[in-house]
Chains A and B, each alone.
Chain A
Amino acid sequence: MKLLTLNFLTCAIKTCKSAPSSFPLHPRDASLEVIETDLNLPFLKNILPRLMWDELRVITSELGLPDLPPTPPTREDLVVAAEDAAVEGEESEEEASQTAKDLHRVLLETTVKEGKLVCGNCGHEYKVLEGVPNFLLPGHLV
């Protein structure tokens, strides 16, 4: 499971949903794997305003990944300022900036292979098996 997914997931227990501490889920004993993929600039641009930036920073620091800047980048930060590209006209391809590459590495290339995801509110642990987290709740919690 790629790290971006964690930006959308909270605890599955209904009473936890309203508690701010249930988001993000905290990775514990996680083994990570980086799988290189093609950079998808339109997707990064589209998803950027939907990211919960502070929570993303919490996760990256807990996983010991390189620190993300304290404020979220803007869409303009994702492309290299194209001054000479203007000569070619608008048709020329936009080039991804280092910011975009770093973000791509964290969100779309870093995957959680094994480990646990822990709710900050109730402490429930969700196991990750073969890269697939299990959010099914046991009988007494439904």
Chain B
Amino acid sequence: MPDYLVRLVQMHESFRQAELQALADVVEVPIEFVKYEDESPFCIVRLPSDASAKAVISRSLLSQGIYELWGQGATYDALHKSVKEISNAKWAQYDSVPFRFTLDCFRGTRDNAEQREIIDSFSYLGFKGPIRMREADASFKVFEEYGGKAAGPKYAYLGRFVAASGRDAKTTYDLKKRHYISTTSMDAELALVTANMALAAPGKLFYDPFMGTGGFPIACAHFGAVVCGSDIDGRSIRGTGGSARRGQTDKFDVQDNFKQYGLESRYLGAFVSDLTNTPFRLLQHSNSASRGGYLDGIVCDPPYGIREGLKVLGSRDKLNEQERATHEGRYKDPGYIPPRKPYSFTAIQDDILAFAVATLVENGRLSMWMPTANDEDVELIIPTHPCLDIVSVCVQPFNKWSRRLLTYRRRAESEIPEGALESIKKEYEQGVRADELNDFRRKYFEGFKEFERLRQEPSTDDTNNKADDSKGVSGRWRENSGAN
């Protein structure tokens, strides 16, 4: 298989390789990573053909394009030597076609004279075709990678352009231009990456149990999937809860978002529901032929309990007879709002996994986002289920916390070890208040004290516990009032 050079973007580093792998999985093409580093935007992969390279890259968000690798080297002498060795058989093919030659310097610059000199140094390729900077039949690029303080590049490549990525979609679906968004909408780029990870594609059925204003379903529909979604808050779906945009007061709803992008035909609709009391069919009924699930993918960004409350149906305290009777008598009233209670953060993660196991088809995927405090970095706890394989874990770091995109694959029945399902009984956080139920939320609002403490005093055992004061006024105030 020939080698290809993928020009990646130098951001969301931990997502890039996983995205390429997922895209190869979608088009069922074998991909082999020859060279990949988180610090470099140049990745060398092995793919069967130009056509498969194009198929893989055309949906990619985290790359710019794919090039057939014609040579590489740490110096220009090494690069020229490698070009002559690897690609001389291909030169004749481009002998007389219109072509162009350009330069891409990563973390470096070259002025026009230098660029010209570099390009001229490849004159031994012997191309006699006309030079055309637009709509050339063959487009070549010299890539330079700079590092540290050295004046020259530390590595260089020559590639023939094969196909551009699908990164344009990032602009098309930009939240700034979207009709209707909310405070917790995921940025378009990462929503589209999430859809890629879950293998959204034409003919497939996707679902988002925490849809909000529909960002994830829209991203999946962009890649051809038919989508539906639900949310515990019906106002966000119907668009009667106001908008996150200042001055926007008219009625805006999820349906109109799909209209904006011309994706209505792929939108099945939405309903109001709670994942812990889902209306989805979890057991099989009539025709046994369809044993197994019916969803090809589930994508979601569940509420973290910070900006969006992590709540499920139910009451904080057990209802007494009289309260039950009141609910029973009133629930059909138009203004009735069912009671909701805070819910355990780890329990919801496991609920999502269990739901995915019940509804996904074999090899169907679940991609979900989960926040985590950086002080827990030592041992990242990734929720697991015996019926699900972890495909990838990608991290988007923030200052004191980060969030991870977890992607799972539904195993086939034959892959599930016997007796594995009986062993998953777990203890969850007990309590009724959000802070008791959600460790991440508690740490967030405490300002990630533990993280601060570890950073400021890496080794000393802090017996005085002064670091507890990191919350400033309230901390000191508490100390003073405690003395009384």
Q: Which residues of A contact B (CB under 8 A)?
A: 1-2, 4-5, 8-14, 17-18, 20, 23, 25, 35, 37-38, 40, 42-43, 45-47, 49-55, 72, 108, 111, 125-126, 129-140, 142
Residues of B within 8 A of A (CB): 202-205, 226, 228, 230, 232, 234, 237-238, 253, 255, 264-266, 268-274, 277-283, 285-287, 289-290, 294, 296, 313-315, 319, 323-325, 327-328, 330-332, 336, 338-339, 361
CB distance from A57 to the nearest CB of B (A): 10
Residues of A within 8 A of B324 (CB): 139-140
With a CB–CB cut-off of 8 A, which chain B residues contact A1? 268-271
- Complex Cα distance, B282 from A18, in Å, reads 9
- CA separation between A14 and B361, bound complex, in Å? 22
Pairwise interchain contact A12-B278, C-beta atoms closer than 8 A: yes
Whether B282 pairs with A17 at a CB distance below 8 angstroms is yes
A134 touches B264 (CB 8 A): no
Q: Are B277 and A132 in contact (CB under 8 A)?
A: no
- Closest-by-CB residue of A relative to B341 is A142
Q: Quick one: which of A12, A46, A72, A140 contacts B319, CB cutoff 8 A?
A: A140
| Residues A10 and B202 in contact, CB atoms below 8 Å apart | no
Show 9 residue pairs from A and B whose CB-CB distance is below 8 angstroms, ordered by the A residue.
A1-B270, A1-B271, A12-B273, A23-B285, A46-B205, A49-B289, A51-B290, A129-B238, A132-B234
**B338 & A138 in contact (Cβ 8 Å cutoff):** yes
Rounded to whole angstroms, the CA-CA distance of A29 and B122 in the bound complex is: 75
A1 to B274, CA, bound (A): 17
* Residues of the B chain whose Cβ atoms lie less than 8 Å from the Cβ of A25: 279
Chain B residues with CB below 8 A from A42, complex form: 202-203
CB distance from B237 to the nearest CB of A (A): 5
A126 to B271, CA, bound (A): 11
- Cβ contact within 8 Å between B280 and A10: yes
* Alpha-carbon distance between A53 and B289 when the two chains are bound, in angstroms: 11
Q: Are the C-beta atoms of B270 and A140 separated by less than 8 Å? A: no
Q: SS class of chain B's interface: helix, strand, loop or mixed? A: mixed
Choice from A4, A50, A52, A135 contacting B285 with Cβ under 8 Å: A52
Contact at A9–B279, with CB atoms within 8 Å?
yes
> Are A135 and B272 neighbours in the complex by a CB distance under 8 Å?
yes
Do A4 and B327 contact each other (CB < 8 Å), given the known contacts A52-B286, A142-B277? no
Please determine whether A43 and B202 come into contact, CB atoms closer than 8 angstroms. Answer: yes
Chain A residues near B285: list those with CB within 8 A: 20, 23, 52, 55
Residues of A within 8 A of B315 (CB): 139, 142
Q: Specify which chain A residues have a CB less than 8 angstroms from the CB of B338 in the assembled complex.
A: 136-139, 142
Instruction: Identify the interface centre among A10, A38, A137: most chain B CB within 10 Å of its CB.
Output: A137
A132 and B269 contact, CB distance less than 8 A: yes
Complex formed: what's the CA distance from A103 to B276 in Å?
Answer: 32
A17 touches B272 (CB 8 A): no
List chain B residues, Cβ under 8 A from A133.
271-272
A136 near B269 (CB under 8 angstroms)?
Answer: no
The answer to whether A139 touches B327 (Cβ under 8 A) is yes
Contacts of A134 in B (CB 8 A): 234, 271-273
Residue of B nearest to A131 (CB): B269
Q: Is the CB of A8 within 8 A of B238?
A: no
Known: A138-B336, A142-B314. 15 other contacts (CB 8 A): A1-B269, A5-B268, A5-B271, A8-B294, A10-B281, A125-B332, A130-B238, A132-B234, A134-B273, A135-B272, A136-B273, A138-B328, A139-B339, A140-B319, A142-B315
Q: A52-B287, A142-B277, A142-B314 are in contact. Are A135 and B271 (CB under 8 A)?
A: yes
User: Contact partner of A10 among B205, B253, B271, B279, CB < 8 A?
Assistant: B279
CA of A129 to CA of B238, assembled, Å: 9
Nearest-CB residue, chain A, relative to B264 = A37
Bound state CA distance, A133 and B271, in angstroms? 5
Do the beta carbons of B203 and A136 come within 8 Å of each other? no
Given contacts A10-B279, A46-B205, A140-B324, contact A40 B266 (CB under 8 A): yes
Give min CB distance, A115 to chain B, whole Å.
13
